[in-house]
Amino acid sequence: MERHVYKARAADCRDCAFHEECSPGVRGRTLIRTENVPVVTAYMAKMQTDAARALYRLRAPVAEFSNLWLKAKLGLRQFGVRGLQKVRCEVWWACLTYNIQQWFRLRWRERLIPAQA
């Protein structure tokens, strides 16, 4: 986001016809306007198309489930350590645990399918 800050002198604000619209109930002389950078605006426009929405729906089974699993099963909602190196290590262990769990689940499925047939 780009942030634009406009400031005025007290005398300018007092005499301005738009003073109540600009800062209703506030005696400040600062106006802050934010707008998206062009890259974000282009991304938001692209995500409004049906093709992009369909593609984004495919993400849910892959990414959202693993994030939910890390939060619910491992309780990884907040890091228990400080420092970037320690946080990376904690995330590494959480992801490794998730991947091992998925590997076990898929291996057992492969073994159960021939036994059921």
Contacts for 76 with CB less than 8 Å, ≥ 6 apart: 70, 90, 91, 94
Judge whether residue 114 has pLDDT over 70. no
Alpha-carbon span 62 to 53, nearest angstrom:
15
Give the tokens for residue 10.
Answer: 């007290």
The pLDDT of residue 82 is 93
Judge whether residue 111 has pLDDT over 80. no
- When pLDDT is averaged across residues 85-89 and rounded to a whole number, the result is 94
Straight-line distance from the first to the last Cα atom of the chain, in angstroms, rounded to the nearest whole number:
57
- CB-based contact 7:29 (threshold 8 Å): yes
pLDDT, one tens digit per residue, over 21-77 is 666 665 666 777 888 889 999 999 999 999 998 988 888 777 788 888 888 888 888
The pLDDT of residue 84 is 95
The pLDDT of residue 45 is 92
β-sheet bridge partners, residue 30: 7
Alpha-carbon span 19 to 10, nearest angstrom:
11
The pLDDT of residue 83 is 94
Judge whether residue 95 has pLDDT over 60. yes
Q: pTM higher than 0.95 for the full model?
A: no
The pLDDT of residue 25 is 60
> Checking DSSP bridges between strand 30-35 and strand 2-7, what pairing results, if any?
antiparallel
